[in-house]
Structure 1
Amino acid sequence: MKHLSRLLILTLSALVLGGCVSRKEIVQFKQDLADIKERNRVLEERSARLDSLLSAYGQILQTMKAEMSLYSEQNQQQLNNLEARIEDLSSLYSQSYSKRTQPVYSPLSSDTTRADTTGLVLVDPKKLYDAAYLDLTKGNYQLAISGFTQYLQNFPDSPLSDNALYWIGESYYAQAQYDKAITQFQKLLQDYPTGDKVPAALYKIGLSYLELKDKKMGNQFLKRVIEEYPRSPEAKIAKDRLGK
């Protein structure tokens, strides 16, 4: 457009010098040139506004993408917890663990109103586990830790022992006690290396280190989930987390 304006000016100058145009025509020519410049200015302003809008929309899309990724990760974790709970209940009902073990007894609590404070009561593994898990879902994390700890003490070889240990770690994680959470998840890896909670434990160790601002260790454990358990649900969300 600038080249066109220069060309028109040169043409006008030549016509004036050659005496080929009248003053009225010169005035009209100048007006036309001014109109062209104004249209050019308006087009440039519109172009600038469009660029600004495109940039803003791009930022909005990036923000929405990040939020959707976060929601996806949270939903996946909730789904994993639900699947784990279903698995726990299935194991409890499908296996007659109590038939394969001797009755286990634990002391009565010190605040009992019974006269005989040295009496013993039978511990039901299912009720003990379910009660601890219920405390966990209600946010009573200390009670959940206590219940799962008692379960592990009484039933160390139960099919749900690794689950109990995992939920202890989750209880600490929920309370932002990340060092203690890491300790419990590491114990699960050591005591139950072939358990089905290993991928979840590795993933939560990684998240715990990230919460402690140890990015190197956090990413290391997230990569372990992907490399050692590539088909696990935790591997997918670990990839998403590393991609941020």
Structure 2
Amino acid sequence: MKKEIFLIGFLFFMGCATQKDLARIEQHLVYLNGKIEDLEKNQQKIENIISSQQADLLVQVGPLQDKIKELMGQREETVYELQQLSRRIEETNKEIERSEKRLAELEAKLEKTIKMMEEKSIPSSKTQKEEWLYKKGLNLFRQKEYEKARETLNQFLKLYPLSPLAGNAQFWLGEAYFAQKKYEEAILAYQRVIKNYPKNIKVPAALFKQGKAFAMLGDNETAQILWKQVIKKYPKTKEANLAQQALKKIKK
């Protein structure tokens, strides 16, 4: 197209210019045509370079786009999994709340049932009540519920101080103190057995355990005196044998 324009211009000038001018114009046209060809070649080279770079870029961008698609897919999958997990957690929390509510209801029913059973199990006669309360304190002691055992036994002694079981209750009260390592309180409790219930079957045991309590406090001298009294006063008892063994250990 550009060559045609120059050719038209050239024909126009032929009618107006001299031979010398025409030669110079023709020479100039040749030069311009050469420049145009060079420009066209350079343009083609540039276009080729651009095409090559575009092709390379497409080669590089292709895997990148695939990777982006893959990551987007993973992200969507992760979001979905998180949503599912969130739903499961919410459902689990609701189930826990329902379970806790049911458990609280069951505990309330159980507590009510136990209370009713305890009320039914309380005996009606005075003698039965004495035995029931004494056995309750003794069972609490055997279950190592020492605080509750002491409360129950003290209640028994307060209600039934003249009961045939009072001496035994006093002894187990001392045992509860001893088990809790409250040795001074245990000594006093054992002393009440010895003083207030001198004919009770638990007196030898109270005297022996009183000696053990003094030994636990580091007073071996008093402990030995008490154990010797056990051997002297109650020689045929099990506690007399225990006292002899205890004395041998101290003397070693």
The TM-score with structure 1 as length reference comes to 0.49
Higher helix share: 2
Whichever of the two has the greater Rg, that structure is: 2
Higher relative contact order (CA 8 A, sep 6+): 1
